[in-house]
């Protein structure tokens, strides 16, 4: 094994609870751009075998565009290995964790429901929803923007997936449990009120496991079918009666099997939710922490599109993704063996000096902006256009309709080595009185 052995500081979730270690990434890009890092135990989660961290922009894009060498399917796309062969088989069935040509078939079915034209038809209702959310809190003079921002992606997903209004909070909880499992505040999320759920929602809750701790003390993977019994019970029920005209109805009509429908529901409910729940409050915090750029954004609405791209570069909602080497190969001077894990760090690639002049400077006029926050290659995010629409809508609504908007306290970050998230972002503004 070649490459430098480095401490696991870029791996441990608690590192990110204090901020993304951009200085560490910068040092590693220069000294060891593809390096071996240890994978120690984290809380109740066991240690792993370690992985190659890929930190430079060009190398990240190379890994992402060559699935024949760096597979999404062999070990799936999360850093931690699935607990059992059964868990691995389950996550492999998801589109996110497949390679061409199997991946291409599912992607075509989903892409037909998320065309730019389809998203344009949603823009007006998304904009109206964003304005209504902001107007609803405007008289209060203060809010937790992380909680406020969580509503829009959940509402949008429920709208396109055909999930009724009273069940929206289930999407919030499922996302917390899957994405925030490393953070004790999110790992057991159960905010949905059973008394307000639909009969389908209440029936699904009966399938939620009471604990993720097995009798022998080991942990059940939060991404396994066993841990998400309530989500899959809900998806199974919805597969029989999807709302006419919804994305899920389209996918069922297009030929998804029941199992494929369930895993696609998982992917949309989680991936379509968490990216925006991280990106929206992270985007506002970035603007507020750069007053000159905030003022430029507020007074120059024509810069909204380029500003959103810079926000995505500067605050990537997803910090990394895993691949597995299909054969022995070399990358940036490091010999990677078949079967070893390879993790691309979007957060580092987005600050690569070789691509972005003065990369630590936040500049909403930056162009070109070749960030990789939505990935690259065959797995580039299908929902990227929809995500951009929501980011534009809520950030414009907040800055246009909340005068004197500013931080009202310290933000609280999510403890996660995967999601660049905020649990709380207290803000305040002037009211009309």
- Counting residues of the chain whose pLDDT is more than 90, the rounded percentage is 62
pLDDT of amino acid 433:
57
Instruction: Write the CATH number for 29.
Output: 1.10.630.10
- Per the CB < 8 A criterion, the answer to whether 326 and 68 are in contact is yes
Q: Is the pLDDT reported for residue 287 higher than 80?
A: yes
390 sits in the region (left: phi over 0; alpha: psi -120 to 50; else beta) called alpha
Across 5-14, 75-84, 100-109, 135-144, which has the greatest mean pLDDT? 135-144
pLDDT at residue 285 above 50? yes
**pLDDT averaged over the chain?**
90
Q: Which domain holds residue 109?
A: 5-428
* HSE-CB of 156 using CA atoms within 13 angstroms: 36
Residue 1 predicted with pLDDT over 60: no
Looking at the domain assignment, is residue 321 inside a domain? yes
Triad 283, 286, 287: Cα angle to 5°:
90
Residue from 208, 202, 211, 200 nearest 237 by CA: 200
Residues 76 and 91 sit within 8 Å (Cβ to Cβ):
yes
285 or 217, greater pLDDT? 285
User: Rounded to two decimals, what is the model's pTM?
Assistant: 0.92
Domain contains 167 = yes
Does 433 map to a domain?
Answer: no
Mean local confidence (pLDDT), 4-29:
83
Q: Is residue 34 part of a domain?
A: yes
- What is the domain count for the chain? 1
Which residues have C-beta within 8 Å of that of residue 272, sequence separation ≥ 6? 153, 157, 383, 386
Is residue 335 assigned to a domain?
yes
Is 26 contained in some domain? yes
What pLDDT is recorded for position 323?
98
In a domain, 55, yes or no: yes
Distance CA 169, CA 227 (A): 18
pLDDT digits (tens, 9 = 90+) for 345-398: 999 999 999 999 999 999 999 999 999 999 999 999 988 988 999 999 999 999
């Amino acid at each position: 094994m070649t490459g430098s052995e480095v401490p696991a500081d870029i791996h441990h979730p608690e590192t990110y609870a204090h901020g993304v270690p951009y200085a560490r990434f910068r040092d590693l890009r220069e000294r060891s751009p593809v390096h071996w890092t240890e994978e120690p135990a984290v809380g109740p989660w066991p240690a792993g075998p370690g992985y190659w961290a890929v930190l430079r922009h060009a190398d990240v894009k190379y890994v992402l565009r060559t699935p024949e060498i760096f597979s999404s399917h062999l070990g799936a796309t999360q850093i931690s290995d699935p607990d059992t062969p059964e868990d691995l088989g389950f996550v492999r069935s998801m589109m996110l964790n497949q390679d061409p040509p199997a991946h291409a078939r599912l992607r075509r079915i989903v892409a037909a429901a998320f065309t730019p034209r389809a998203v344009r038809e949603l823009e007006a209702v998304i904009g109206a929803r964003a304005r209504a959310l902001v107007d609803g809190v405007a008289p209060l003079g203060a809010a937790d923007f992380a909680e406020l921002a969580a509503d829009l992606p959940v509402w949008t997903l429920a709208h396109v997936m055909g999930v009724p209004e009273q069940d929206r909070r289930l999407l919030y909880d499922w996302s917390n449990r899957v994405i925030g499992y490393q953070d004790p505040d999110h790992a057991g999320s159960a905010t949905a009120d059973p008394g307000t759920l639909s009969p389908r929602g209440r029936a699904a809750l009966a399938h939620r496991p009471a604990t993720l701790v097995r009798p022998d003390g080991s942990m059940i993977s939060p991404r396994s079918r066993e841990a998400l019994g309530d989500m899959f019970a809900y998806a199974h029920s919805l597969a029989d009666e999807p709302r006419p005209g919804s994305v899920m109805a389209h996918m069922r009509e297009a030929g998804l099997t029941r199992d494929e429908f369930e895993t696609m529901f998982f992917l949309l409910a989680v991936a379509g939710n968490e990216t925006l729940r991280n990106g929206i409050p992270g985007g506002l915090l970035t603007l507020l922490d750069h007053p000159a750029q905030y003022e430029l954004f507020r007074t120059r609405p024509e810069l909204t599109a380029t500003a959103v791209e810079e926000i995505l570069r500067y605050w990537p909602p997803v910090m990394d993704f895993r691949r597995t080497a299909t054969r022995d190969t070399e990358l940036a001077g490091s010999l990677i063996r078949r079967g070893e894990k390879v993790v691309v760090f979007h957060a580092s690639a987005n600050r690569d000096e070789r691509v972005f002049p003065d990369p630590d400077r936040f500049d909403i006029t930056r162009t070109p902006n070749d960030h990789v926050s939505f990935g690259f290659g065959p797995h580039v995010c299908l929902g990227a256009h929809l995500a951009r629409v929501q980011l534009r809508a809520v950030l414009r609504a907040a800055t246009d309709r909340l005068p004197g908007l500013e931080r009202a306290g310290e933000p609280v970050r999510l403890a996660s080595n995967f999601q660049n998230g905020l649990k709380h972002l207290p803000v305040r503004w002037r009211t009309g009185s």
